[in-house]
Amino acid sequence: MRIAFLTAPEGVEQVELTEPWKAAKNAGHEPVLVSTESGQVQGFNHLDKADTFPVDEVVSETSADSFGGLVLPGGVANPDFLRTDEKAVEFVRDFFRQGRPVAAICHAPWTLVEADVVRDRVLTSWPSLRTDIRNAGGTWVDEQVKVCDHGPSKLVTSRKPDDLKAFCETFLDVFSESAG
């Protein structure tokens, strides 16, 4: 299965990109780095610049139907930038319209809020997003990983880097079930 990893050009929390990427690759999937611009994506270790990663596809030149699932890594700047890019928001929305699974960690649900896909869903995130999720019609819970199967798309969410092991195991299970 091809899995899109959607990131902004700068500000992605590196471990929230690299660990799910490795897990997907080790499970036999094809991870694809999708961004709003061509070139490279700048990873961060919290506030410190880390490694760069080559962009495989630009969001304006691809579509959700090219992928079996979507992973949204966190970092504060990454989803904040993505939610202001209409093509990125529409890309996310299309996964839900098409009933494809989506996984988001840490601050990444900000992009889901902007895409208006959290209404009537139960999810978790970094605690500071709790009010945003509730205001968007979702239910926020403080759990290591949460799977919500409301509607045609299954949504997997986690709170923080400490939850990565459970996040990776769970999204891989859900994505595999969806591939059917």
Residues identified as active-site: 106
Question: Helix %, strand %, coil % for the chain, to 5?
Answer: 40, 30, 30
Q: Compute the distance between CA of residue 2 and CA of residue 47 in angstroms, rounded to an integer.
A: 30
70: β partners: 4, 102
Phi, psi (rounded to 5 degrees) for 171 = -65, -35
H or E element at residue 166: helix 164-179
> Which token pair is 13?
């929390």
> Which token pair is 68?
């079996």
**Residue 134, Cα to own-chain centre: how many angstroms?**
19
Closest CA to 3 of 17, 12, 38: 17
